[in-house]
Structure 1
């Protein structure tokens, strides 16, 4: 496996690999040469910072103390913004190079995580060049109380992240005697939704925004998608139909049919939309007595429901954009496919937390169950009123673009939590609303074959998007191809970055990103990922494991996302503040 130091060389452009990639747009990745700025006051003095003009009465710094982590000394500030938005800011004392980075929070949040994703081997980050901040978005954990409070709903939807940005910038100005020269935001899953919410609602907060696997379609994503996935895998006795040990049968069949569609058999599907797979090909014969290598009729039907998603029974309209894509089968484990028939299905928990506490204007109560969910227009229409509050699907980014903001979207093709077609739909809506040329001036989309939710998977998933974003913002160099690296099994395990936090108690010790038995032949594999709609195509002569053996090619299925009941969500709308 390539060591971390080698990965840093690969991604930072100081070695042969990048010299061999003349087409790699961000190979040199120039960023502004900003001098280190030292503190103007003591760390302890930050406790006197008045945050009430930002958050209202009761907003305050609770503590400020020096800490040292990985050799970097910093002032760690913790505080609250009224009524109950917790935040943390880490301000380096000897290494700050005038940049600010805010980190998004996954799931339904309720905790503060400072883990930065999609920034592997980013030199300024690793050397303590950024002030970092994050928030719990106004609540701790998930129960029936905070979802009943309109203010806390708004704090979760958008206010907590915005006020944290304002508070962090005030602390920066107070501590160093100047504002940050550049401000960035990065997040995945709900953190990706938060990222887009910032671009849409608060275009002045950040110069560059990175949104990974964004839960931008929050209302439908949590309330219908996960509810459908759970219901689809539950039999009449309330037990799971398809379990994790059966998934390799399905996945192998998908690869046999579709792996070679991109011209290369490598265990990855470059564009799963071109894969028209029917699980019926692995259905056991009626006379079969041994089902170890095939799926039963019930299992096949469950898989079909996963892929197809729910439709309104009257009109036939889709209630979601899409289900999980072909090639994602192994990632279903632990999400809507449990290890055994008696285990709970995590998608049910995810759906019910939203349905009972957040999705409707008036919460239905703790006894609301999946049996109460009707997959039809009436349910969808009950979700519409809060679409302008929680969703981040507004494609009008004119204010963000006008002030020079840059946006990078990214998503793993094998994501089981959020279909990547949601992110493609937003990218396409941007081009329609802003015009393709204008959209290209400030936005990029990267789709990673074989990559799960925010990290891990069978495809190369380690990447640095923060350095290319800095180069774009600070030097005007738009990103091109990105080098990705195959993660080892130890690197594709649990990750806080974007991980759902509203899981059953008995699932908390399980990896949030399923571990994958990596093919030894893929050790050290690097691959280019090109801006959508281009895909990486093997040049036919180089090392298949080396990024410099790939050139841009057109996707075989560059198509518009399908029409569905919420297609109008991806048009401009007035945001709901409450």
Structure 2
């Protein structure tokens, strides 16, 4: 069966329950409405429209004959199919094709033999990629995919392995930044046409984390590749994210003795205090902070009083927590060097990312920042003896990463070409994401809105969904299971704009992931929370609630009506939500139309120029 990001990569879902019931004249209640013993099997508020019923098309060529298919027109000399054979996938006969686009972009395409409904979906990867991810992520639950109606494809983005050493090779940088995902789309479409005798009628892209960055890059750089794009928790500020953000998180939780200051056991204390401070802002006491941007939480309230030692924190731990929330600032100018930090209510998901489970166990932030700062973000890489301790959190050093930022970034707000050709874009993010602050995503949405229509309505082609209580691409204390592909298909194929997305939580801890990819396992996408070996972090004991929730396009939020079971999506209504506060930071210019670079390697020389817009 298909996998989401659940035991894996970057995933997605959750329920949005930002409310602001006070605006509706309702008072927050400290008593939860009486819950029914059983939840309804279906929810009448669901907006999942049925996709078009397309004819099944069967192959006109044998799978084995694809071995000789010429890819050089797409990827250049040396591009080739390395294997093509019929295999049983999800219980059905499938033509599985693997190949390499010159010089080293690996890819995989799966072509159903007897159930193809003329649709194609490419899947993004996570972290620094380096592996093939065939997990369907935010398409989990989509019947058209689960019945093998789609041809699927993915790429390793030009290198093998999770580390950043590939950045020593300029061409591999380019392939990872944007070329790999594009030429994989071209190669996949060519193979589909060869195998079935006709092109795919509809093409979709679906990715989260770096896959979300890839999704935006496709809309920005290659507007003709896909009809519908789903971009989850996009790592669009790649250079900043993997240096100033993760580097700061790693350093801020390291004491003078080299050991971690905060540990997993401290997280419930912070989490419970944050929830106590801000849970009821939305009018419902349900254990979820649905409006974290408006949450004024001071971790100082957790300070141990004289004689106390349990369920409280020392001043040293509180100071470290404040640094993690606030992010780095230039010590001389006070200028913020990142765009937002982890939001209140995300604390349980810090485990394995920048807080070790125990002792001085390696954390994700150290691993990703070390690889990026040594190999990827600078025009000239640091010396071999460089360590993360040498990284300077200053505006001067921020200026050092500017020259190559446009190589990797997905922050270009000019996506008018994608809009004009009829493309549809769904962007989504978990509000309690420990890896990538949702502030980045809202900032991009507002910038794209301004660039596309002068700040006016863009819902004809772009929608943003924010999921309270959700971690990075999957997991969380709030509802985080949902299907975005079905409403995307209805939008692309029938012109039915998506509104409420119904997210759910099964009431169990499930797979709370947040670390790097699992090594050598392409069937299990990278875990997003956990240790650097990809194992899930120890799940902290919290009360998970079985529930469903309607998530509306930003800035609309869901408000409990005050009647019926609060755990059921049908008992919520849309209300106007609060807007996100504005942020001034060193990278404001990154969200401009001229922010991207086109790079090439000519006679061994790495050259970049401003991309046309």
TM-score normalised according to structure 1 size: 0.92
1:255-274 alignment, distance < 5 Å? 255-274=275-294
Which residue is equivalent to 2:344? 326
Which residue is equivalent to 1:481? 500
1:392 aligns with 2:417: no
Distance 1:305 1:446, change over 3 A: same
Gaps of 5+ in 2: 5-14, 16-38, 518-522, 600-613
Gaps of 5+ in 1: 5-10
1:166 aligns with 2:166: no
Of residues 535, 549, 570, the one that matches 2:591 is: 570
1:192 aligns with 2:228: no
Q: Tell me if structure 2 keeps the 8 A contact 1:190–1:498.
A: no
Which residue is equivalent to 2:8? none
SS of residue matched to 1:486: strand
SS of residue matched to 1:112: coil
Of residues 404, 408, 430, the one that matches 1:412 is: 430
Question: 1:513-567: per-residue Cα shift (whole Å, max 9, x none)?
Answer: x6354526x13x1111111111111010021111101111222x31343111101
TM-score normalised according to structure 2 size: 0.87
SS of residue matched to 1:230: helix
Which residue is equivalent to 2:21? none
Separation in 2 of the partners of 1:396 and 1:428? 12
1:32 aligns with 2:52: yes
Which residue is equivalent to 2:543? 519
Which residue is equivalent to 1:250? 270
1:53 aligns with 2:77: no
Question: 1:184-224: per-residue Cα shift (whole Å, max 9, x none)?
Answer: 00000000000000000000000000000000010100010
Q: Tell me if structure 2 keeps the 8 A contact 1:270–1:535.
A: no
Distance 1:565 1:144, change over 3 A: closer
Which residue is equivalent to 1:8? none
Question: Residue 283 of structure 1: CA displacement?
Answer: 0.9
1:218 aligns with 2:238: yes
1:171-570 alignment, distance < 5 Å? 171-285=191-305, 288-435=306-453, 436-437=455-456, 439-489=458-508, 491-494=510-513, 507-511=532-536, 515=539, 517=541, 519=543, 522-523=545-546, 525-555=547-577, 557-570=578-591
Separation in 2 of the partners of 1:412 and 1:502? 13
Which moves more between the two structures, 364-373 or 232-241?
364-373
Separation in 2 of the partners of 1:212 and 1:498? 18
SS of residue matched to 2:251: helix
Separation in 2 of the partners of 1:251 and 1:327? 6
SS of residue matched to 1:577: strand
SS of residue matched to 2:597: coil
Q: Tell me if structure 1 keeps the 8 A contact 2:363–2:532.
A: no
Q: Tell me if structure 2 keeps the 8 A contact 1:107–1:498.
A: no
1:111 aligns with 2:111: no
Which residue is equivalent to 2:120? 100
Question: Residue 177 of structure 1: CA displacement?
Answer: 0.4
Count, aligned residues = 555
Q: Tell me if structure 1 keeps the 8 A contact 2:85–2:95.
A: yes
Which residue is equivalent to 2:44? 20
Q: Tell me if structure 1 keeps the 8 A contact 2:474–2:513.
A: no
Q: Tell me if structure 1 keeps the 8 A contact 2:245–2:327.
A: yes
Which moves more between the two structures, 430-439 or 230-239?
430-439
Q: Tell me if structure 2 keeps the 8 A contact 1:189–1:499.
A: no
Q: Whose RCO is larger (CA < 8 A, sep 6+)?
A: 2
SS of residue matched to 1:418: coil
Which moves more between the two structures, 384-393 or 335-344?
335-344
Distance 1:466 1:144, change over 3 A: closer
Which moves more between the two structures, 314-323 or 136-145?
136-145
Question: 1:35-55: per-residue Cα shift (whole Å, max 9, x none)?
Answer: 000000100011111000111
Distance 1:350 1:502, change over 3 A: farther
Q: Tell me if structure 2 keeps the 8 A contact 1:172–1:179.
A: yes
